[in-house]
Amino acid sequence: GNSVTQMEGPVTLSEEAFLTINCTYTATGYPSLFWYVQYPGEGLQLLLKATKADDKGSNKGFEATYRKETTSFHLEKGSVQVSDSAVYFCALSINTGTASKLTFGTGTRLQVTL
Partner 1 sequence: DVKVTQSSRYLVKRTGEKVFLECVQDMDHENMFWYRQDPGLGLRLIYFSYDVKMKEKGDIPEGYSVSREKKERFSLILESASTNQTSMYLCASSPGPDYEQYFGPGTRLTVT
The residues that touch partner 1, with contacts defined as CB under 8 A, are 4, 32, 34, 36, 41-46, 49, 51, 89, 93, 95-107
Report the nearest approach of partner 1 to the CB of residue 37 (Å): 11
Could you give the 3-state DSSP secondary structure of residue 82?
helix
* 28 or 96: CB nearest partner 1: 96
Cα–chain center distance at 58: 11
Cβ 80 to partner 1, closest distance in Å?
22
Cα 25 to chain centroid distance, Å, stands at: 11
Tell me the Cα Rg of the chain: 14
Q: What are the DSSP E strand ranges found in the chain?
A: 3-6, 11-14, 19-21, 23-26, 32-38, 44-50, 56-59, 62-65, 75-77, 86-95, 100-104, 108-113
Q: Across the strands, what pairs with 67? A: 72
The nearest distance, CB 17 to partner 1, in angstroms, is: 25
CB-wise, 70 or 96, nearer to partner 1? Answer: 96
| Closer Cβ to partner 1, 43 or 114, answer by number | 43
Which residue's CB is nearer to partner 1, number 46 or number 82? 46
